[in-house]
């Protein structure tokens, strides 16, 4: 498998999942400003949607959408990063993945755009902050989103919350979330992914 990624982007979640899975994989960096790969290929020819992550599978086909890519990786190593497909625990996991994708990941999207007015950015931080209030109700009672085991939902949440370094909002209001970030960042495989993306200072 090959993961097309950009440092610190949502593709970091898939990178962490690949590291945690122990499966063999390679990485190819994408420049999201030019939409080119290091050898000058047009990334739109690889993923017509133009965004990361893209996971190139061993049969030559490609999979996109972070929440789906994460589940594909987890299902290559059953019982480690996601509960079995069809179980109620798996639906709970998917509930988190969808929440992270739509409420947090896409919720923070306007903060990345230099054209977003400051007043609107404040509204975005407030709205996503209310979602963080919901997340800490779970993380205050258990180390990871679905219980005591690290899953792909934790990799995804960690990746999105890690954006606070780049988007300049602090986690003071959510000490439980800051503790979660530290807990995940301390995992050896997560450190490996962060190191490969040159993000160790920003985690």
Ligand X SMILES: N[C@@H](CCC(=O)N[C@@H](CS)C(=O)NCC(=O)O)C(=O)O
Footprint of ligand X on this chain (CB under 6 A)? 9-10, 32, 50-53, 65-66, 101
Compare residues 4 and 144 and give the one whose CB is closer to ligand X: 4
Looking at the Cβ atoms of 116 and 149, the one nearer to ligand X is 116
Long-range CB contacts (< 8 A, 24+ apart) of 139-146?
139/176, 139/177, 139/179, 139/180, 140/176, 143/180, 143/183, 145/96, 146/83, 146/89, 146/92, 146/93, 146/96
Q: Cβ closer to ligand X: 47 or 151?
A: 47
Residue number, 53 or 107, with CB nearest to ligand X: 53
Give me the least distance between CB of 51 and ligand X, in Å please. Answer: 3
| Closest CB 129 distance from ligand X, rounded Å | 19
What is the spatial distance between Cα 174 and Cα 110, in angstroms, rounded to a whole number? 21
CA 87 to chain centre: 23
> Nearer to ligand X by C-beta: 36 or 176?
36
Q: Is 46 helix (H, G, I), strand (E, B) or coil?
A: coil
> How far is 128 from 52, CA to CA, in rounded Å?
22
Dihedrals phi, psi of 116, to nearest 5 degrees:
-70, 125
Closest distance to ligand X from the beta carbon of 32 (Å): 4
> What are the structure tokens assigned to 160, written together?
């999105």
CA distance 117 to 119: 6
Considering the complex, what minimum distance in angstroms separates the CB of residue 33 from ligand X? 9
**What is the closest distance, in whole angstroms, from the C-beta atom of residue 142 to ligand X in the complex?**
25
């Amino acid at each position: 498998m090959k993961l097309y990624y950009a440092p610190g982007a949502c593709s970091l979640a898939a990178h962490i999942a690949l590291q945690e899975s122990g499966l063999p994989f390679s990485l190819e960096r994408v420049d999201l400003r030019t939409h080119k790969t290091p050898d000058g290929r047009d990334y739109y020819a690889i993923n017509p949607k133009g965004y990361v992550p893209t996971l190139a599978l061993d049969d030559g086909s490609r999979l996109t959408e972070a929440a789906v890519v994460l589940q594909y990786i987890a299902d290559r190593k059953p019982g480690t990063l996601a509960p079995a497909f069809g179980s109620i625990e798996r639906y709970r996991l998917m509930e988190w993945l969808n929440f992270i994708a739509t409420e947090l990941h896409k919720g923070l999207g306007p903060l990345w755009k230099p054209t977003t007015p400051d007043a609107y950015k404040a509204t975005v931080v407030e709205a996503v902050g209310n979602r963080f209030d919901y997340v800490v109700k779970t993380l205050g009672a258990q180390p990871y989103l679905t219980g005591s085991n690290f899953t792909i939902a934790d990799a995804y949440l960690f990746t999105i919350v890690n954006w606070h370094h780049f988007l300049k909002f602090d986690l003071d209001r959510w000490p439980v979330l800051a503790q979660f970030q530290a807990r995940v960042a301390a995992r050896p495989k997560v450190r490996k992914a962060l190191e490969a993306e040159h993000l160790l200072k920003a985690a």
